[in-house]
Each structure stands twice: as structure tokens, then as C-alpha cells.
Amino acid sequence: MNAVLVYVSGVFHLFYQHNPHADMPGNLSWGHATSPDLIHWTEHPVALPARESHVIYSGSVVTDGHNTSGLKSGEQPPLVALYTGHTDRHPARQHLDKQHHEAQYLAYSADGGHTWQYGGETAVLDLDKADFRDPKVFWDGQRSRWVMLVVHPDERQVEFYSSPNLQVWKPLSTFGPAGQVEGIWEMPEFFALPDPQGVDRWVLKVDFNPGGLYGGSGAQYWVGDFDGTTFTPLTSSQTLDFGPDFYAALSWSDLPGRRVWLAWMNNWAYAAMIPTAPWRGTFTVPRELSLGPELQLIQRPVKELEALREASVPILPPQDQKMYPLSVTHAHELRLQVETHGGAELHLEFLSAEGVEAQVTLSASEVSVTRPDAHLEVPGFGGTHRAPRRDGQPQYDMHLLLDLGSLELFGCNGQISLTDLLLPAAPIETLRISAHTGASVISGQLYQLRSIWERK
């Protein structure tokens, strides 16, 4: 499920909602993994186990470099986690229709994130609400204080708070309802990025369920200004990813010089039915973020992934169609420069012994991914997922990552992204590229990728 990310002394930490005892929601805790390079990951013991009084929902981890919390007990600055504690049946709500309760709690680590202590049974922010969750915390250096966003799901609102010490919080402002309000809101994210003129703008992202483009869950964002109290959008709500399986994206806290995030690759419409074992659910590849000329969010796979490239073959311009063999045990990366005019289309079909397992169509007006209905019972899984092009250019790039059970596509220099889980009836073993009505490949390269579990 969704991740909580922090960068500490050259190490990427990934905490994630996790049931240590089953592959279904329940007993929610924070699992823990670390990486030196965003590629190779080491699993660690559960960081925050479910408590007797509440389970552990999403939140944030930050480095308290100034020890504002007073929780430092060694040479290292403390890591502080702010998380939502969820209680199914709260004694004070037994007379209400909604008997569950959510509030924001604190935990901390004195050894760089490997062992944790809870900050007592008392919440640091409690509005006595059933649904009030997913704190996003960051240090506002200009004003020397902490800022936290927490979502009010049913009201479709994000509320801003400030604190001098991560433990006492006062309200600042509220954003919403706005944009997509069909479903409840969850998982806010908020950070600054420079626009093409070098002016810092703020990106506010929020997820929703239902109301996604293809049913189930989805995500939207705004770009605007933040004066330390209020977020003022300069854009309307924009779609974050045009595939069905990109949810709960969060970025690494305290990562200097760049903004990188990843998301839960799943959809609430069928998350509990994905027929995988012994795990259920996965994350996208990490993505580097920037802002485009129209204040759109640009997403590109991080450069670190290039270290996994092994064998490669050039993709030649197809006069009709060409076939390229794929390894059934490896992931692949495909880079293309294509040209499409008018109604021209370039089709990429990913084939198994059972037939077409996914098709990508590139045209002058859109990029699309089509996946068949799952061979196992996963209602709503099949369909075509479309991303409109806004650049209007006949030539553009496409960057595709194909794993054994997923497809992540980035187009038009990262202006377009589509994220799709795949449930192939048999392993994908062939790529077929065919041109229609004058579409063409200008240049391209197909890479086989080494497994992240293999070390050089």
C-alpha cells in the first residue's frame, strides 16, 4: 500500500502500510526497506507495528535537524514520524453512525530510522473525527516552523497546520472542495518546484476514490503559490496519471537538490482481488519531477534505472511490422522517437503464447494503453486508457518500462504518463511493432534489464 519516504545520510528509506500476517488489509503497520541507489532494496523488520489502541495508517517522516521536538537522545538528529492512528470502534463514538476514529500521532527514531518509539498514547492532533488522516509534514525554512497538511476525506478538503515543535499544531487554512469531488479525498502531497523561469511554485496533489478516469481511484493536482498560510492555485485541477494504477504518490523528504516520488501501483476498484502471491500490490518505479512550460507536472523514470540495462537491440523503422523477442524472466525498457501525422498510428503489441497481453497506440492526438480483461476474475480490469497530447508536434518521444506484471509509459518528454498493472495469461515473449497510415519510428532502442535482486 502507500509509502512514506525519507532520505537520511545517503540512504533512501521506504516505509509502507503493511499487514505482517496476511495479504489483505488488517493489522496495519509500517514495513521498512532501504536503498543506497533507488534500485536495490533491503527489507528490515516492521518499523511501526499496530498498537493495541489503533492501527498505523499513512503519514510522514522528517529529519528534525534543529531538534525542535526535543526528542534527540544521541549524536544523530531524531527522525520524527507523524501518522494517522485509526481505531475501528472508539468508546466516545459508540452512539454515532460512524464509530471509528482517526487522529494524528507521533513516533520517533534516534538511530536513523531502524528502531522506533511511540510518543505516548495521546494524539498530537485530534479533532474527534471519524475520518481525518494522512498527514504530510515539511519544514518551512523561511518561517522556521513545521507545516502539516491533513485531509478531511468526506468534506473533500485539505487543512494546513503549523507547529514549532512537531507536537503542538494550530490551523492555518483550508483548501477545497475543488476539482474532482465525486469520491472521498486522501493522501495529500505538497512541495515546491521551480517553473521554467526559475520561480518556485507549489504542487498540491490529492487522491480520490471513486471518480477515477476508468472507475475506482485516481489522483489530481494543482500548481500555485503558497505564502506560508494559504495555497492559491494558478491552474485548474489536472490529471496526474492517465492509467488506472497510480495512487497515493509521495516524495522523499529531505532529499537535496531533486524531487523524487513513487506511488502504489493499484486501484481500489480491484486491489483486494489482484491474484498475486505471496504478496499483493507493488510500487511504481521512482520518478523524477519537474514543471513544464504550462505548469504541468513532468514525470520521468529516475536516471539510476539506467544502471540495470543489459543487452540491447536497435528498433528499426517498420515498413509494415517487425517482431522483437523479449525475455520471459526479465523486465525491459523501450525508448522510441516516433512521427505521426493526421490519422497515422504506431501500434506496439506485447504478445504471449495466449495472444495480445497489452497494446500501446501512439498517434498525433493521444497515447493509449489497452489491456484485455484478466483471464482470472478481476472485474473492471480490461479496457483502453487514453492520455491526450497537448504539444501538437508530429514527432515525440516514448519511454516505456515493461515488467512481468506492469507497464509504465512516459511520453512527450514526461508530460504524459500511464501506469497499468498487467495480468498476462502467459509470460510476455514478443514485441510486435506495426505502422499504420504513415506513422514511423525515427529511432529507438530496446533494453533487457537486469533484475534488481541481482548484484554485480
The CA distance from 71 to 56, in Å, is 21
pLDDT tens track for 300-324: 999 999 999 998 999 988 777 899 9
Domains 3-301 and 306-449 share a fold: no
Task: Enter the C-alpha cell of residue 268.
Answer: 481500489
**Domain positions in the chain:** 3-301, 306-449
Alpha-carbon Rg for the chain, nearest whole angstrom, is: 22
Residue 249 Cα distances to 96, 159, 182, 241, 269, angstroms:
33, 18, 20, 11, 17
Long-range Cβ pairs for the range 174-181 (8 Å, 24+): 175/204, 175/230, 175/231, 176/206, 178/222, 178/233, 178/237, 179/206, 179/220, 179/222, 179/236, 179/237, 180/208, 180/211, 180/218, 180/220, 180/237, 181/156, 181/208, 181/211
pLDDT tens track for 20-51: 888 777 889 999 999 999 999 999 999 999 99
* Cis, peptide link before residue 372, omega less than 30° from 0: no
What band does 402 get if pLDDT is binned at 50, 70 and 90?
very high
Task: Enter the C-alpha cell of residue 308.
Answer: 540495470
What is the reported pLDDT for 393?
85
Place of cell 523524477: 288
Angle at the Cα of 304 (from 6 to 82), degrees rounded to 5?
10
pLDDT tens track for 367-398: 999 999 877 788 889 999 999 998 878 899 99
The stretch 237-262 carries a mean pLDDT of 98
Residue 194, Cβ density class (10 Å: 0-12 exposed, 13-18 middle, ≥19 buried): exposed
What is the reported pLDDT for 214?
95
Q: What are phi and psi of 308, to 5 degrees?
A: -85, -5
Residue 303 Cα distances to 14, 44, 183, 299, 338, angstroms:
19, 25, 35, 12, 22
Q: Which fold has domain 306-449?
A: Jelly Rolls (2.60.120)
Phi-psi group of 322: left, alpha or beta (phi > 0 → left; psi -120 to 50 → alpha; rest → beta):
beta
Average pLDDT over the chain, rounded to an integer? 95
The CA distance from 83 to 103, in Å, is 8
What is the reported pLDDT for 341?
85
What band does 455 get if pLDDT is binned at 50, 70 and 90?
low
The CA distance from 358 to 352, in Å, is 10
Q: Enumerate the β-bridge partners of residue 299.
A: 289
Q: What are phi and psi of 293, to 5 degrees?
A: -65, -25
Residue 430 Cα distances to 291, 405, 448, angstroms:
35, 15, 13
**CATH fourth-level superfamily of 3-301:** Glycosyl hydrolase domain; family 43 (2.115.10.20)
